[in-house]
Structure 1
Amino acid sequence: MTSANNTRFSAEALTWDSNPDVQLATALAHKAYLAHLPPAPTLSTYNVLDLGCGTGLLSLALAPSVLSVTAVDAAEGMIAALESKLASPDTNNNNINNTPRNVLPVCALLQDPDDPRLATDPATGETVPTGRRFDLVVSHLVLHHIPDLPALLKTIHGCLVPGGRVMVTDFEDTGPEARRFHPEGKMDGVERHGITEGEMRRVMEGAGFAEVRVERAFEMGKKVETEPGSGVLGPVVVFPFLICEGTKG
């Protein structure tokens, strides 16, 4: 991710969770992931890496279903927001135990599967002396910010245990209309207007993934600018999202 992305997302971190589009997209992605993952007896054994975790909305949603989540983001503001959530007990229904204890925030621009910042097990607090690997890597609404998708997918492949899975979601590039997903004033750091099935299949297979599947997972309606650059939101456009899966052989 570029410095433009890091600056923008750090600045937006404090208000990120108040955006209903962010909440809806995360909820839909979480539902799609669970529909594609194995049931509880197996899923509860998974150590998960969430790349581009933001304020941790997806990480915290997955945490009750898995063994651990290592939540990575390059934007310091986003990681600070997640750390604040984890430091403040969730008192909903007067139950302080709602705050997950198996999520570890990590501020990093991950380029090396052996990055020592991944070495700590969130569930136990123990540090793995050699490269720590994961059963599942997820990433939501991150790919369209990445300049070099092949490099990212190769890094993800290296982060997985043999037989581990990658599962990523982003909006689909359906043509010129896909550009409207972002207001013109927020184009800094946007590397592509969505992803395509063909590109993702080629990139994932090129990174070494087997059993690659790329398909539409859900659709989301979102208000877009009445005119490019106007800053005035008006019509609702429905954007399809792709889910991209693969297995490390």
Structure 2
Amino acid sequence: MTTANTARFNAEALSWDSNPSVQLATRLAHAAYLSRLPSPSALSTYDVLDLGCGTGLLSLALAPSVRSVTAVDAAEGMIAALAAKLSSSELSTTVRNVRPVHALLQDPSDPRLAIDPVTGSSDPKPRRFHLVVSHLVLHHIPDLPALFRTMYGCLAPGGRVMVTDFENFGPEARRFHPEAKMDGVERHGIKRDEIKRVLEEAGFVDVKVETAFEMEKAVETEPGSGVMGPVMVFPFLICEGTRGG
């Protein structure tokens, strides 16, 4: 993630959860993930890595269904916001399986992943995960092949990657972001064929890229006007793959 991305998300961390589009996209992504994951009994054994977790909306949504969530973000402000939630009176006694980590993750054996969120203990061997998720992150990443190689390395054999982002369906996809928030946007959504190839080249098998959901979002009346008015429908893709045994 670039410096522009980190600066933007640090600045927006405190107001991030008040954005209704952010909340809606997370709810829809969470539902898409659950519909593709195994039964509750199997899922309850999963250790999950959430890359680009932001303020933890997806991490906290997944937490009741899984054994643990290690929530990683490069923006210190986002991780601070998640940590504040976890220490609040509302969550401190109910959510004990989510661990926020401030890191720009590039090494699957990064020692900052070593601590188990449930036990608090650190394994001398690199931790490996059953599932890696990432939501609305890919369009901010300059080097997608490097990201997916890292994701692959973070998974245990048979583990799965499951990521969601809006689709690049043509020039109008640019309108997903107001012009004033283009700093750090590396691409205007993701392309099906491109992302499928990236996953396969990273080593994933059983790769699938399909429409997960569609979401209505207000866009600028004219690019750069700052005036939000018309509503557009944006398709979101879910990209899945498995690390071989």
TM-score normalised by the chain length of structure 1: 0.97
Structure 1 residue 89 displacement after superposition: 2.3
Q: Distance in 2 between matches of 1:74 and 1:202?
A: 26
Gaps of 5+ in 2: none
Q: CA RMSD in A?
A: 0.8
Matched, 1:119 2:110: no
Structure 1 residue 52 displacement after superposition: 0.1
Q: Distance in 1 between matches of 2:220 and 2:120?
A: 46
Q: Distance in 2 between matches of 1:239 and 1:68?
A: 31
Q: Distance in 2 between matches of 1:54 and 1:148?
A: 19
SS of the residue corresponding to residue 17 of structure 1 reads helix
Residue equivalent to 2:199: 204
Match of 2:123 among 111, 119, 128: 128
SS of the residue corresponding to residue 18 of structure 2 reads coil
Q: Distance in 1 between matches of 2:171 and 2:69?
A: 36
Residue equivalent to 1:167: 162
Deviations 1:192-220 (A, max 9, x none): 00001101110000000000000000000
Residue equivalent to 1:51: 51
Residue equivalent to 2:237: 242
* Matched residues, number: 244
1:6-85 equivalent positions in 2, closer than 5 A: 6-85=6-85
Sequence identity percentage: 75
Structure 1 stretches of 4+ with a deviation exceeding 6 A read none
Amino acid at match of 2:219: V
Q: Distance in 2 between matches of 1:24 and 1:100?
A: 22
1:88-237 equivalent positions in 2, closer than 5 A: 88-90=88-90, 97=93, 99-237=94-232
Q: Distance in 1 between matches of 2:77 and 2:202?
A: 31
Structure 1 residue 139 displacement after superposition: 0.0
Amino acid at match of 1:192: R
Deviations 1:16-57 (A, max 9, x none): 000000000000000000000001110000000000000000
Amino acid at match of 2:189: G
SS of the residue corresponding to residue 233 of structure 2 reads strand
Amino acid at match of 1:208: G
